[in-house]
Amino acid sequence: MVEAGEPAWPRRQLAEALYRQRLTRWTAITTLPKPLRQRMVAEGWEVGRPQIAQVFQSVDGTERYLV
């Protein structure tokens, strides 16, 4: 959001959408203004979480992820 020249408030909404609501598309983040969502899509910005490349399991059941 900083690179897009946006104020602080959309950052909190974006974090909420990605990490709490687990949304992965700009169109689904309806807490952000529609013109902002459209601009981010048009400029090629993507939202989502990194892909898990590998999962490591310990004998005690703990899992670690390589992203």
Q: Kindly report the pTM of this predicted structure.
A: 0.65
Which whole-number Å values give the CA distances from 44 to 5, 25, 26, 37, 39, in the listed order? 15, 12, 11, 11, 9
Retrieve residue 61's tokens: 């059941």
State residue 61's pLDDT score.
92
More confident residue, 40 or 1: 40
Confidence check: pLDDT of 28 > 90: yes
Confidence check: pLDDT of 49 > 80: no
- The predicted model gives 7-29 an average pLDDT of 89
8-12, 23-27, 33-37, 39-43: the lowest-pLDDT one: 8-12
Annotate the chain with DSSP letters as a single string.
-TTTT--SHHHHHHHIIIIIS---SGGG-TTS-HHHHHHHHHTT---S-PPP-EEEE-TTS-EEEE-
